[in-house]
Amino acid sequence: MRKLALVAMASAALVSGPAIGGGPPAEAWEIGPIIRGKNYSQRMPLRPDDSRAGPSFAIPGPTAAQGSVHYLTVPTGPLRGARAIVLTYRIDAAPGTRFVPRGSPQLPATLSLYFQRAGDGWTVRQPDWRWYAPANRTMLLRPGTYTVRIGLDEDWVAMTGPGAHANPRGFAEALAETARVGFVFGSEGGRGHGVYATAPARFTILDFRVE
């Protein structure tokens, strides 16, 4: 297993992990994204809770007016040479809970692994600086415990434009200059556009690693 290559002061925190489980502890994660001073995960704390099972947070709801969760990321160094990103997580929810994409409520809610190149200005002029899991590798949100492992040789999806296999240079540059890695909530209509829950629900990160 390859440890996350971390930037600056975050290294010790990310390597240590929570009491049970693995990967970065709660204080290393950021709930966002924060763009020009605005946090798009409305009504969410900046960090998840520090539970014994792993970093954990309540998914907002029961309507979009009560907020939504969009991105969870940790700082990292280059992913060049890594083989895969792996996440194990658990969703606890009341019976009958639905997970609803904020931007496309008619679509199924999904989780997508994600990484971002350093210097991304969140503009369409940088179409291949944000990369999301391949189209057939998103995870539907539903109660239970799941593991998703996505190889960095798979056809990751750029924010806009061609995917990794059609744009190998852009993908390689993003791997060589990665700044953040994690996962996002949304739908096929907008990978990181946010999700809310119609009844009490909690998400727990049991393990997160780069191999």
163 occurs within a structural domain: yes
pLDDT over threshold 60, residue 163: yes
Domain that holds residue 111: 8-192
Which residue, among 7, 23, 179, 79, has the nearest Cα to 15 in the 3D structure? 23
pLDDT digits (tens, 9 = 90+) for 51-72: 999 999 999 999 999 999 999 9
130 occurs within a structural domain: yes
204 occurs within a structural domain: no
pLDDT digits (tens, 9 = 90+) for 101-146: 998 999 999 999 999 999 998 988 898 999 999 999 999 999 999 9
pLDDT digits (tens, 9 = 90+) for 14-55: 332 333 357 999 999 999 999 999 999 999 999 999 999 999
pLDDT digits (tens, 9 = 90+) for 70-80: 999 999 999 99
200 occurs within a structural domain: no
172 occurs within a structural domain: yes
Residue 1: the pLDDT is: 46
178 occurs within a structural domain: yes
Residue 183: the pLDDT is: 98
Around Cβ 107, how many Cβ atoms within 10 Å? 14
156 occurs within a structural domain: yes
Span 176-201, mean pLDDT?
96
Q: Give the number of domains in the chain.
A: 1
205 occurs within a structural domain: no
Written as one string, the DSSP assignment of 99-153 is EEESS-TTSPPEEEEEEEETT--SSTT-TTSEEE--GGG-EE--SEEEEEEEETT
Decide: 18 and 55 in contact? Cβ < 8 Å.
yes
Decide: 5 and 76 in contact? Cβ < 8 Å.
yes
Q: How many residues does the chain have?
A: 211
Residue 21: the pLDDT is: 52
The CATH number of the domain where 38 resides is what? Answer: 2.60.120
d(CA 62, CA 168): 41
- Decide: residue 131, CB within 10 A, 0-12 exposed, 13-18 middle, 19+ buried: buried
